[in-house]
Amino acid sequence: MKKATKLFLLLVFFIFVSCISQHLKSPKKIVAIFDQVYGTSEMSSIASYTTGNFRDAKPKEVWVIDTWKVLKRLEYKRLNSKFIDSKIEGNKAIVVLQTQIHATGGKVDQKEVFYLIKQDGTWKIDELVVTDEELEERKEKI
């Protein structure tokens, strides 16, 4: 009986730790998840790590569907990303990525600045500013 109790307590402990770790993802980890799934069929997995401000006050499900439609039409793909910098001050954080994306206009190199805030113990993307965009011209065969 004691062995069963110990196993049960151990299981409860691991479940508890798992639930807590969900809330302990760093701003850099949140942005890494965003970078992996934005523009893919897995976009819904990042919605809970965004604020209403980021989603233009749209409910998560509506934001995912609307954004997915636009990105699909643009043939949007994230090609490469590299973390440049990150900084946390209290309940606010900034994470900067250098990225390369592809859309109907061609490849674009750009810097993405993510502003995150901590809400209820979870870091969430509140704003994304894209700067330093450089379009690689399409080289079409004639």
Helix (H) / strand (E) containing 52: none
In a domain, 117, yes or no: yes
In a domain, 7, yes or no: no
- 67-125: pLDDT as tens digits: 999 999 999 999 999 999 999 999 999 999 999 999 998 999 999 999 999 999 999 99
Handedness of CA 63, 66, 67, 68 (dihedral sign): positive
Q: Is residue 129 over pLDDT 70?
A: yes
CATH number of the domain within which 70 lies? 3.10.450.50
The SS3 of residue 93 is strand
In a domain, 37, yes or no: yes
Domain that holds residue 42: 25-136
pLDDT of residue 98: 97
In a domain, 12, yes or no: no
In a domain, 10, yes or no: no
In a domain, 15, yes or no: no
In a domain, 122, yes or no: yes
pLDDT of residue 4: 59
pLDDT of residue 138: 54
The SS3 of residue 137 is coil
Between CA 98 and CA 87 the distance in angstroms is: 16
Between CA 52 and CA 124 the distance in angstroms is: 10
Parallel, antiparallel, or unpaired for β 122-136 and 92-103? unpaired
Higher per-residue pLDDT: 28 or 7 = 28
In a domain, 93, yes or no: yes
Q: How confident is the model at residue 14 (pLDDT cuts 50, 70, 90)?
A: very low
Task: Count up the domains in the chain and report the number.
Answer: 1
Q: What is the pTM of this model?
A: 0.78
Q: How confident is the model at residue 63 (pLDDT cuts 50, 70, 90)?
A: very high
